[in-house]
């Protein structure tokens, strides 16, 4: 699927930078930020838009969602110039905006931009990737700000996107690894996410086409247009390669594949932790060597996913890859109904605000309306 990625703010920019490192044929990208320094580090993205230059002098909005939204509102023409040019030349099948929900620029700017994009390009779906922050080790004032921004921007975003994929940094924490810096951990999340999304988005582009093609229209049908919230599950096992007998790995049979498929929707395997039952739609992609894509196991795994998600019919696509050393299942679950993690964050914000002087960031009601400022 041809995608125009828009990386908004620092997290968004870096995620899109990782995506651009994976498939330049299918992807195009624009990075937007209020902070000049963050834009300059994105080496895989050629199109960069610095907004709020005069008001902020290229120094960012300091986690202020209101300010992020109002700068974006004033910069719509500037952003749309770049986007319009790209849309005309590249004819994307979807526009996908990535941003951290806990900051100011991306969290506040993305929904303002999404609103405009949906008005202008009626035939192109506008999806979001919302990064939920991990607050481990943060001082409590910073934690409160990150969490309240997340809760607030998630609420705002939900009115404007055709679908929002949530990516929770906390899901990628490795409690036993102590030597990883925050930067390294972000990089790992970004690369993981970019790899998973690229497998999904390029599965339908393989030539000659596999048995079961996962086309753009199936991705669109899974994500829908009604503002569903989605999460993506991933489970993978290293296989034994005969020519490399000294390496570990398994010789996969049908049981192993069934188990990989089923485990792809376990809570720890998801980009956002949720009970997947009650979802609206789901799709499964199995990536592996052609001889390991057992039809029978896939069909059993798929019906297991149908039980777990309570989705009537889970869509499916093959991703045969002769050179891979893994057998993996990726499951997109869209229209999730379990937001326990968000509720926990809301509670934590109240707790933190009750125990210290709060720094209020109220997104004014007018911002929820489409026409602002």
Ligand X SMILES: Nc1nc2c(ncn2[C@@H]2O[C@H](COP(=O)(O)OP(=O)(O)OP(=O)(O)O)[C@@H](O)[C@H]2O)c(=O)[nH]1
Given the rule CB under 6 A, which of 95-103, 279-287, 327-335, 359-367 is the region that contacts ligand X?
95-103
Whether 35 contacts 59, CB under 8 Å: yes
User: Closest distance between ligand X and the C-beta of residue 101, in Å?
Assistant: 7
Asked if 105 is part of the footprint of ligand X (rule: CB under 6 A), the reply reads: yes
133 binds ligand X (CB under 6 A): yes
C-beta of 170 vs 296, nearer to ligand X? 170
3-state secondary structure string across 297-349:
HHHHHHHHHHHHHCCCCCEEEEEECCCCCEEEEEEEEECCCCCHHHHHHHHHH
- Measured CA to CA in angstroms, residue 84 lies from 71, 130, 169, 263 at distances of 19, 23, 32, 41
Contact with ligand X (CB under 6 A) among 9, 204, 252, 320:
9
Q: Please, what is the Cα angle at 103 between 362 and 20, to 5 degrees?
A: 145
236 binding ligand X? (CB under 6 A): no
Cite the DSSP H helix spans in 21-75. 36-40, 53-56, 65-74
Confirm or reject binding of residue 153 to Mg ion (CB under 5 A).
no
Closer of 133 and 252 to ligand X (Cβ): 133
Q: Which does 11 bind (CB under 5 to 8 A by kind): ligand X, Mg ion, none?
A: ligand X
Segment contacting Mg ion (CB under 5 A): 54-62, 107-115, 324-332, 359-367?
54-62
Cα 43 from Cα 14, distance rounded (Å)? 10
CB of 33 to Mg ion, least distance (A): 6
Please choose which of ligand X, Mg ion, none residue 106 contacts, taking the beta carbon within 5 to 8 angstroms, the exact cut-off set by kind: ligand X
Query: Rounded to the nearest 5°, which phi and psi values hold at 293?
Result: -85, 70
d(CA 355, CA 204): 52
Q: Which residue, 71 or 345, is less far from Mg ion as judged by CB?
A: 71
Q: How far apart (Å, rounded) are the C-alpha atoms in residues 41 and 1? A: 27
Residue 7 is a binding residue for ligand X (CB under 6 A): no
Closest CB to Mg ion: residue number:
10
Distance CA 182, CA 189 (A): 11
Torsional class of 60: left (φ above 0), alpha (ψ -120 to 50), beta (otherwise): left
Closest CA to 240 of 327, 177, 314: 327
- SS3 category, 355: coil
Per CB under 6 A, contacts with ligand X among 174-233 are 186, 189-190
List the interface residues with ligand X, window 136-165 (CB under 6 A).
146
From 7, 52, 60, 128, residue interacting with ligand X (rule: CB under 6 A): 60
Which residue in the set 75, 163, 169, 198 belongs to the binding site for ligand X (CB under 6 A)?
Answer: 169
Residues binding ligand X (CB under 6 A): 9-11, 14-15, 34, 60-63, 99-100, 102-107, 131, 133, 146, 169, 186, 189-190
Residues binding Mg ion (CB under 5 A): 10, 35, 60
């Amino acid at each position: 699927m041809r995608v125009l990625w828009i990386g908004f703010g620092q997290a968004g920019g870096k995620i899109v930078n990782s995506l651009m490192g994976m498939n330049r044929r299918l992807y195009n990208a624009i990075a937007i930020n209020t902070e000049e320094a963050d834009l300059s580090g994105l080496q895989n993205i050629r199109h960069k838009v610095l907004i709020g230059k005069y008001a902020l002098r290229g120094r960012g909005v300091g986690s202020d969602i209101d300010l992020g939204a109002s700068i974006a509102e004033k910069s719509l023409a500037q952003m749309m110039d770049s986007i319009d040019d790209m849309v005309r030349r590249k004819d994307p099948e979807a526009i996908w905006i990535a941003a951290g929900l806990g900051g100011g620029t991306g969290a506040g700017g993305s929904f303002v931009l999404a609103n405009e994009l949906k008005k202008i390009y009626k035939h192109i779906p506008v999806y979001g990737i919302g990064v939920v922050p991990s607050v481990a080790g943060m001082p409590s004032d910073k934690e409160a700000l990150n969490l309240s921004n997340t809760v607030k921007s998630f609420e705002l975003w939900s009115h404007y996107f055709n679908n929002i994929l949530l990516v929770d940094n906390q899901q990628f924490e490795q409690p036993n690894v102590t030597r990883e810096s925050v930067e390294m951990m972000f990089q790992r999340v970004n690369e993981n996410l970019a790899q998973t999304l690229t497998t999904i988005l390029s599965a339908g582009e393989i030539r000659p086409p596999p048995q079961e093609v996962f086309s753009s229209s199936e991705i669109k049908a899974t994500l829908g247009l009604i503002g569903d919230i989605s999460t993506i599950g991933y489970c993978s096992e290293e296989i034994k390669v005969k020519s490399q007998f000294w390496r570990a790995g398994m010789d996969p049979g049908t049981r192993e594949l069934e188990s990989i498929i089923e485990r792809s929707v376990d809570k720890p395997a998801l980009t956002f932790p949720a009970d997947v039952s009650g979802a609206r739609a789901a799709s499964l992609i199995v990536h592996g060597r052609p001889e390991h894509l057992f039809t029978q196991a896939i069909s059993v795994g798929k019906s297991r996913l149908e039980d777990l998600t309570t989705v009537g019919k889970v869509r499916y696509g093959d991703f045969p890859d002769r050179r891979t050393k893994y057998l993996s299942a990726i499951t997109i679950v869209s229209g999730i109904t379990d937001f326990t993690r968000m509720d926990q964050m809301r509670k934590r914000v109240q707790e933190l605000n009750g125990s210290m002087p709060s720094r209020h960031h109220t997104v004014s009601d007018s911002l929820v309306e489409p026409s602002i400022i």
